[in-house]
Amino acid sequence: MADTDVPDDKVLVTEFLKGNVKSFDLLHEKYSERLYGFALKLLKNKEDALDSVQETFMKIWQKRKELDEAKSFKSFLFTISYNIIMDQLRKRLSDNNYMEFLKQNFKLEQSISENEADFNILEKQIQSLIVQLPLRRQEIYRMSREKGYSNNEIAEKLSISVKTVETQINLAVKFMKSRLTDGSLPAILFFALFY
């Protein structure tokens, strides 16, 4: 279902808070793919990304009494997702040197509003940078980072060499990394852990 076919978030949240489970299903349908793409960028594992989406919506259900109809549901949703992903990363990171670097340079425990602000800024920056890429590079980057295709799968689908895919992704990442210089934890994790 396209986003244009789905009622406004505020309408869905209002109905959800009244006990309309169908509204919750529509929110899930509207955002689950985007949450998956966000999680995949950080976790780099399809199963972990799917698990994080499922856990996010379970938490939304559990925290439904905390939902504020006047505030952005999307920000609330992605903040919960961000916190779940950070918890998963903390459990997975076994490199003591890297953990020490994070502890010295960033507060791992941030307030929800700080996480929300970090994510919103990072999302806007990344999306604005992606659209600046040449169209073919943009397509390859999105297939890799947002849809989770391997380099081989991309090469096969686009009838190009794996080397071309690698080169285009490297150029995209280099371009984006050079322009994402705000030093926020999400931006640092996005590049330091996975590129």
The string of DSSP codes covering 68-88 is: -TTS-HHHHHHHHHHHHHHHH
81 lies in some domain: yes
**Domain match, 150 and 67 both:** no
If asked whether residues 128 and 165 sit together in one domain, one would say yes
The model's pLDDT over 14-72, given as tens digits with 9 standing for 90+, comes to 888 888 889 999 999 888 888 888 788 777 788 888 999 999 999 998 888 888 777 77
pLDDT in tens, 170-183: 999 888 877 765 55
Residue-range definition of the domain harbouring residue 8: 1-92
Q: Over range 103-110, report the average pLDDT.
A: 50
Burial label, 127 (beta-carbon count in 10 A; 0-12, 13-18, 19+): exposed
125 and 195 in a single domain? The answer is yes
User: DSSP string of 117-151?
Assistant: HHHHHHHHHHHHHHTTS-HHHHHHHHHHHTS---H
Q: What is the average per-residue pLDDT within 127-147?
A: 88
Work out the average pLDDT over 101-124.
Answer: 55
Is there a single domain that holds both residue 142 and residue 88? Answer: no
- Give me the amino acid identity at 190: F
Identify which of 155, 195, 161, 193 has the alpha carbon closest to the alpha carbon of residue 178: 195
- The number of domains in the chain is 2
Quickly state the pLDDT bin for 84 (edges 50, 70, 90). Answer: confident
Residue 139, pLDDT > 80, answer yes
Which residues make Cβ contacts (< 8 Å) with residue 189, sequence separation at least 6?
A: 42, 89
User: Does 99 reside within a domain?
Assistant: no
Are 146 and 74 in a shared domain? Answer: no
